[in-house]
Each structure stands twice: as C-alpha cells, then as structure tokens.
Amino acid sequence: RKEVEQDPGPFNVPEGATVAFNCTYSNSASQSFFWYRQDCRKEPKLLMSVYSSGNEDGRFTAQLNRASQYISLLIRDSKLSDSATYLCVVNTNAGKSTFGDGTTLTVKP
Amino acid sequence: NAGVTQTPKFRILKIGQSMTLQCTQDMNHNYMYWYRQDPGMGLKLIYYSVGAGITDKGEVPNGYNVSRSTTEDFPLRLELAAPSQTSVYFCAGRDSGPLGGYTFGSGTRLTVV
C-alpha cells in the first residue's frame, strides 16, 4: 500500500460543477498536509495548506480527518482554468514528505 | 525575487555521458530536494538535504549524486547517463519544520538517447 493514495481520476466536469478529491495517508504520525496544483509540463505550485479545523480559500475548501487519515479538496463553481493535476502532500518526519501521484481534473465548457 | 532556479531547462544526453543539473535558491531554505517525474507519473525523491554539508538518499538515488556546499546551491550529478534517466527533474526548497511548503524550480527536461 502506498503511503499516500489519491483518487486516480481523471475527473471530467462541466464548468460550474462542484468536484471533490480525496487523499488517504497511512502514517498516523504525519504532521502537516498540503494540496499542490500542477499544470501540464510545469512545476507543482502550492495551492493551500490543510488545517485540522478545515480551511477555505475562495472556491477551494480543504478538510483534514485525522481519525480516518484522509484529507479532501473541494472545488466549487469550477472554472476552465481549474483544469490541472492536484497533488496531495504529507509531511512526516523531519525533512521528508510524501507526494501522492495526483488527480487530474478537466473542466469542460 | 528569483526563488528556486534550475538550469538547464532542456538537455539531450547520449548514453554514457555525464552532466550536472544546477539548482540555486535565494529563499534561505534549509531543506532542498531533487525529484524526478516520469510522464504521467508522480514525483519520486532522488536526494535531499537538510542543510549545508548534509545530504541523504531518497527513494531513487541510484545513478545520481549530490552535494550541498552552501545553503544556496544543490547540484545533481548524473554519471553514465542511461535511457531510464529520461525524465523531468525538479529541484525544490522549503523551510525546516513540518509546516513548510515547497517552492519548486521550473524543471529540467532531460532526454537520454
């Protein structure tokens, strides 16, 4: 079993749709959690950190469930520009992180 | 503010050749990393460093070497290039501590023929 697993996707949704991605992690000692966005042939960029109480940034909402060891990302009112691959990242022990393989989202007109 | 800078952006190597991928950062990150990403796949950690003079192997270190003589620079050396090393290489830095997020360089696309 991988340390971090994501919904494989791809997710194909129409503009305006709400879409949610999940990510599970196996190390209960994991300390911090992030969502990154990666556009085709580009470097990953930090989308948002994930806090225990949940957090929102505009149309994006991230949730953490430590008991069940998963994090989620909800995108409301999807835009064409949201089309990308979304990476879940878990920071475990000092210095190292584990990246999920990513979930691909395509938003269609 | 340059962030994390990688050079070159593209390179074609012949089998058996060697090269160094350069990475420099001006964000004073203690932690630096080299990842590779094969087409359609996730990131795999090659080597990382938690500070000048300290390096450690990641998930896929074979065929690579690194050094960290300064906080700013973290070059990746490929010796005896093989077709299996065809990939996109990303250098990244982040602040120490669990809350640090990554800043990635724009990547080096390497093809070994």
In this predicted model, what pLDDT tens digit does every residue of B61-106 receive, in sequence order? 999 999 999 999 999 999 999 999 999 999 999 987 767 789 999 9
B73/B88 Cα distance (integer angstroms): 19
Q: Which of A55, A44, A84 is nearest to B101 (CA)?
A: A44
Cβ neighbours, 10 Å, residue A76: 14
What pLDDT score does B1 carry? 64
Q: Nearest 10 degrees: CA dihedral of A100, A45, B11, B16?
A: -30
Nearest CA of chain B to the CA of A79: how many Å? 23
Contacts of B100 in chain A (CB under 8 A): 91
Nearest CA of chain A to the CA of B20: how many Å? 20
> Which residues of chain A have a pLDDT value below 70?
93-95
Contacts of B105 in chain A (CB under 8 A): 43
Contacts of A89 in chain B (CB under 8 A): 102
